[in-house]
Amino acid sequence: MKQLLLVFFGGGIGSILRFLISKNFNNYFQHFFLGTFLVNIIGCLLIGIILGFSLKSDYLTQNQTLLLSTGFCGGFTTFSTFAFEKHSLLKAGEIMHFSIYTITSIVIGVIAIAIGLWVSKML
Residues forming the annotated binding site for Na(+)? 74, 77
Which region holds residue 93: left if phi is over 0, alpha if psi is between -120 and 50, else beta? left
The annotated binding site is made up of: 74, 77
Q: Kindly provide the b/e burial profile for residues 69-98, where b requires at least 16 CB atoms within 10 angstroms of the residue's own CB.
A: bbbbbbbbbbeebbeebbeebeeeebeebb
